[in-house]
Structure 1
Amino acid sequence: MRRLSKSTKDKKVSGVCAGVGQYFGIDPTIVRIGFVILTLATAVIPCLIGYIFADWVMPKDNEV
């Protein structure tokens, strides 16, 4: 069973986008670019709060 977890190998900030990319089987760079575009196109503060929340909730991949 696959579980969503933060990446410890391919992280830039905290590994959230890399973990999401690994979970869905897509390149983490695409997830990072999509997150930046979504953040700039909508509201910056709610997206950053969501990222911080995901960082807090998601386990690291070596803890799963």
Structure 2
Amino acid sequence: MTDKARPFTRSRHDRMIAGVMGGIARRFGWNATLLRIVFVIVSIASAAFPGIIVYLILWLLMPEETD
């Protein structure tokens, strides 16, 4: 499967909490640690961006990757 055809899935191996950021980073070919840092900074800096709620929704909606 190519990277562009890869669906959004939570990572089983690159995870800190639920694998959401690891899965998104893998889907787009980004660095997972950098994505996590950006997500936390944006979530803290912006009252209009409910980062925790978005993360929880993604955790519930994104399936976990299969081997």
Q: In structure 1, which of residues 22, 40, 44 is the aligned counterpart of residue 44 of structure 2?
A: 40
How many pairs were matched up?
63
Instruction: From the two aligned structures, give the one with the greater helix fraction.
Output: 1
Structure with bigger gyration radius: 2
Name the TM-score, length of structure 1 as normaliser.
Answer: 0.89
Q: Distance in 1 between matches of 2:47 and 2:63?
A: 26
CA RMSD of aligned residues (A): 1.8
Higher relative contact order (CA 8 A, sep 6+): 1
Gapped runs of 5+ residues in structure 1?
Answer: none
Identity %: 33
Name the TM-score, length of structure 2 as normaliser.
Answer: 0.85
- TM-fit CA distance, 1:44: 8.1
